[in-house]
Each structure stands twice: as structure tokens, then as C-alpha cells.
Structure 1
Amino acid sequence: MKKLLILSVILCVLNIQVTASAAFWNVTGEKMIHDPSIIKEGNSWYVFGTGEAGKNGIRVLRSDNGVNWYTTPVIFPTAPSWWKTYVPNHESNQWAPDIQYYNGRYWLYYSVSSFGSNNSLIGLLSTESITSGQWRDDGLVVRSTSSSNFNAIDGDLVIDKDGNPWLSYGSFWSGIKLTRLDKNTMKPTGTVYSIATRPNSPNNAIEAPSITYKDGYYYLFVSFDRCCQGVDSTYKIAYGRSKTITGPYLDKNGVSMMNGGGTIFDAGNSRWKGPGHQDIYNNNVIVRHSYDAENNGMPTLLINDLYWDSQGWPSY
């Protein structure tokens, strides 16, 4: 009996360890990515991310099992001429794509800008099938200029509880914005709301919104502080929630995200530095990049199962 009891305890411990480690996807193959957005079409997973510096296009990774990833052709190997009308000195690579399925099509929002500038735009592509590789250029969605108090990058498509599409976006300046989209054009219509800002942080270091709806709440995930500095990056993921999509979003302590609030979700560790630019899929998967201290600070794809506690707060 004692031996059986000991064996039972050991099995329970092993089960706990397996359960805890299973939350982290053991990603293999091509893992270099920045600002990832994830989706599944059929049996295939896709991650869209910022293009490699100095090269044209949006980076695309594919996996047929969610574990082993490989590269597929970039989107925009040649830049459309209309971008220069709005952002004359844009960088060759495009930033922070967001992919979502809605109303029979896959919608891909992306950013065109130059580092440190808010002379920027968010553009839109769409397709009936990612696997087909055939994308329709749906043009300009929103833009900002050097005289704007916001930055038109980091677009994130969210569908509210009633099936209406919205776009959140923003980086530094006056923070995170939200606007309703027309169901047919998937472009803004009506009011622009401010939903998160950090007035007491240097340069209002908040960006990369991602909103998801679950059990009566909208959850706003954002990235705080600085990306893009390898292992010296200070990026971290924070969140809050609201009963209405336009806010106010409050963190666990009840502090509004319009007043610098935000509960930290992931601040990294000794290996994974500066995790951020997160994307939520199906309320049970979270993807982000982090800089690998064991691989020269390479921006690396991290995927986890996403959990929710009894009070409705997210964890992994």
C-alpha cells in the first residue's frame, strides 16, 4: 500500500510537470520573427511578421503541425508605388502585420513607416485563402503625419460580441486608438477613441494593442517600453479589461489604462529578453517575439497556450 501511495504521488508530480511545460510550444525550424500574428487555415498554421531589415516585404512562416516552422515567400517583394504618396521615406520592410478571418475573407493589416517617425500608414490586404498566395490590395486604412498626435502603426483587427469589426492601433505619442470599421470595406467609420496611454512613462512607451473578447469582457493586451534592441530590449506585455470595447480598460488593481495602468503578463527572464508585440488566437493561444540571450539576441517566435483563472484574468 505504501509503495502504491508513493508511486501515485510520483505520477501526480510528473503529471503536474508535464501539464506546466505543455503550455510552452516546442517550436523548431525557422523561428526568427518580429511582431508576430498567428492564424490557422485548415491544418496549417501561419505567422506573419515584420520583414527583415533592409529587405522588402512582410515575413511569413508556416507550420503544418504547429511545431516545425519554415519560411514561405514574403508579401510585397516589391513596394506598391502608392505608399510613397503618404510615407515618402518609408523603410523597405513592412511592420507589425495582423491577420484575422472575418466574413469569408482573411484580412491582413500592416504598417509602413520609418523608425522613430509617426509619418506612417496602415494598409490592408485580403484573400479568400492564405495558402493560395493571392492577395488583393485594399489600399490605405489610416495614416498619421508629423503633425499628428498619434502613430498609425500596429493595427489589430478585433470583432466585438455583436460581430462588428474594429481596429485598434498606435505606438507611443498619445497611445492606443480604436475605431469602428465598415463591414464591407473594413476601413474606419465614425469616432476614434483613445483607450490606453502612459502619461508618466518616457515618451509614452506603449504600443502593439491586441484585443480579444471573452465571457463578458474585452481584454486589451499591449507592449510597454522598448523593443528592437536585442538583449537590451525592455519590452514587456501588460493587459487590462473592460465591459465595453471602447473602455475604460482597468488592470487587476483597478487602475485605468488611460492613466498608465496595466498588469504585467510577461516581462521575460534570463534567456528570453524583451517579450512583446503579442497576438491572441481563439482565446487559447498567445504568440509574441522575444530576444534569445542564448542566440545573439535573435528575435524569436514564442507560442504558448493561454489560460484564464477563476476571476477571468489571463495567464500562461
Structure 2
Amino acid sequence: MQHIFRKAFLALALVGTALTASAEHWALSGDLGVHDPAIIKEGNTWWTFSTGDGLQVLYSADGKAWNRGSKIFSSRPSWWKTSVPAHTGLDVWAPDVVNYNGKVWLYYSISSFGTNTSAIGLMSATSIAKGDWSDKGKVISTKAGSNDYNAIDPNLTFDASGQPYLVFGSWFSGIKIVKIDKSTMKPTGSVSTLAKRSGGIEGPTVFYREGYYYLFVSIDKCCSGTSSTYKTAYGRATKITGPYVDKNGKKMTDGYSTVLDAGNARWVGPGGQDIYRENGFSIIARHAYDATANGAPKLLISDLKFSGGWPTY
């Protein structure tokens, strides 16, 4: 989930979280409980949206010390029941949040775990701080037995000319992309495939940098605490619609990718990543399961570097 802003804003150095030439894993504190985080900065405030009841929100004055805010949903939009009949309660998954054309756009997904009867929805607001969210309804949906892909894990991205696209998908037939209408912020045209993998692939994030489009994904399995096998991986392409290849030139549509982060003894199963970019610098936010806290998923943020045109820490 990457965020490209059309307006200039304060450099991160002003709030003590500068994106420097050397890799840095940010020292975070406070309430860090997230899964599938989407990160954005509005004015001087950082915001993180994540999977959970009503769609969870964290905020921070410096990007390091985090507090929990008010959830987005206190009641269910009426269209949820029609699109995903088995979905109950306020469980909302894998959001993406982008400032574009004078509004904040919040994409999110609802589903029933393990199925592809799912839907991606859309909210908009004049600003995150105001919280004047308006339901824009369904963006795209899938149904078990009718579709071979899964309408969850949305990421709004842009090609080099500024044309918006929605990238999405989880397991099944893989990662998809569709062009977005600039007026409705909903799909126009056909859906095509960017990547697939039999062992699990989801959580796509695409962004453009210096002639290449980078596709980040989460591979293998999440959601099992310290037994999770999630890994953050990537490929790149010269066109937003692909083909995306790993560092060895093998196609992501053939199941290949290059692993950026496979975790460590404490931080198990890193994934659900989002990329935030500013003035040529990038950071990556993701969750990992904390082995020192019974496998609770927590927020991690690091500077994202590039070496020879490929991502690294």
C-alpha cells in the first residue's frame, strides 16, 4: 500500500525522523498493535490505518511514539451484507489511504477468512484530522465459484503520468491490477494479473521510481502468531501492468519474487507492507509478530534503500 502526494509538506527531519542516506530501523514506542498497516502523513501528524474492528487507527506527532485513535466504522454500511453475506460484525481488513485531488481516499476490504467472496470498499474525507468520512460504496467484489481471484488488500497507485490504478489480490489466482477512473475513484476497464504463487501471495504495493515500477508483496502465510511464515518480497517492471521480474529476471506471474525481509528471532513473519515516499526517499511500514509478546502483531517502520535499482534496508 504506497502513497504519492501532490502537495509539498515538511521534511521528516523537522520531526526527528529524517530519511537519511544510511539505513535506519525506526525506534517505535507506545501503542504499536497493527496488522496490515497503511501509513500516511497529514500536516505534522502521522497516521496508520490497519486491520481490525471498525478499521483501527493510530496517530503520532513524530512517527515514532504512537497512540490509538477512534476507529473508522461504528456501524455497517448497508451494501456489506449484499456483497459478502457471511461477513458479520465490523471486522475490516487491509486498508490503503491516499491523499489525491484534494481529498483523502480510504480503500478497505471485507471478507470471510479463507474464501474469495469478498469486497473492496471506499471512503473519502476532506482530511483525516477532521474525520468527516463519507461512504462511497463498493469498488469491486468477487464471489466464490464465479471469480478466480480475491477482492481484498487494495492499493491505490499511479503510473508515471499520474493515472491511478488499483492493485489488489490475495492467494487464489494472485495479484491483480485495474485502471481507476479519476472522477469516481472506481475501476474502469479490465482486470489483469501482475503476480501469482501457489504457496500464498497477497498484500500488494506498487510504486514508481526512476524508470521502474516496484511491486511489493507478502508471501507464504500470515495470522498464526510466531508460527506465521510471512515474508516481504518484491519484483520490478518497466510498465505498471508488468511483466514484473525478480532480481534473477524470473517472472512474478511464474511464482518468483525476491525476498526483502524474512524476519528474525523476535520479529516473525513480516508482511502487510506499505511504502511511503517523499522527495526521493522511501520508508516501509509493515507488521511482524513479536515473539516477546506472545506473537502479537506490531508496527515496524524502516528506511527503504535502493542498491543497483533494487530495494534493500
TM-score, normalised on structure 1?
0.89
**Cα distance in 2 between the residues matched to 1:36 and 1:78:** 22
Structure 2 counterpart of 1:313: 310
Matched, 1:35 2:36: yes
Structure 2 counterpart of 1:96: 94
Given that 2:222 and 2:269 are in contact with CA atoms closer than 8 Å, whether structure 1 keeps it comes out as yes
**1:112 offset after TM fit, Å?**
0.7
Gapped regions of structure 1 (runs ≥ 5):
1-18
Query: What SS is found at the alignment partner of 2:191?
Result: strand
Q: Residues 28-177 of structure 1: matches in 2 within 5 Å?
A: 28-51=29-52, 56-92=53-89, 93-147=91-145, 148-177=147-176
Given that 2:159 and 2:165 are in contact with CA atoms closer than 8 Å, whether structure 1 keeps it comes out as yes
- CA-to-partner distance for each residue in 1:41-73, whole Å, 9 max, x for gaps? 00000000001xxxx300000001111100010
Equivalent residue for 1:224, pick from 219, 224, 227: 219
Q: Which has the higher contact order (CA 8 A, sep 6+)?
A: 2
Q: Between the two proteins, what is the percent identity of the paired residues?
A: 55
Gapped regions of structure 2 (runs ≥ 5):
1-19
Given that 1:278 and 1:286 are in contact with CA atoms closer than 8 Å, whether structure 2 keeps it comes out as yes
Structure 2 counterpart of 1:233: 228
- The code of the aligned residue for 2:46 comes to W
Matched, 1:274 2:273: no
**Cα distance in 1 between the residues matched to 2:27 and 2:86:** 39
**Cα distance in 1 between the residues matched to 2:127 and 2:99:** 10
**Cα distance in 2 between the residues matched to 1:185 and 1:239:** 30
Structure 2 counterpart of 1:304: 302
Query: What SS is found at the alignment partner of 2:74?
Result: coil
Q: Greater CA radius of gyration, 1 or 2?
A: 1
Query: What SS is found at the alignment partner of 1:163?
Result: coil
**Cα distance in 1 between the residues matched to 2:72 and 2:219:** 28
- The code of the aligned residue for 2:216 comes to F
- CA-to-partner distance for each residue in 1:127-153, whole Å, 9 max, x for gaps? 120000111111100000012100100
**Cα distance in 1 between the residues matched to 2:244 and 2:23:** 30
Q: How many residues align?
A: 289
Query: What SS is found at the alignment partner of 1:195?
Result: strand
Higher helix share: 1
**1:20 offset after TM fit, Å?**
9.7
- The code of the aligned residue for 1:214 comes to R
- CA-to-partner distance for each residue in 1:277-310, whole Å, 9 max, x for gaps? 100001511000000001110100000011111x
Structure 1 counterpart of 2:194: 195
Q: Which aligned runs of 4 or more in structure 1 are off by greater than 2 angstroms? A: 19-22
Distance 1:128 1:33, change over 3 A: same
**1:161 offset after TM fit, Å?**
0.7
- The code of the aligned residue for 2:217 comes to V
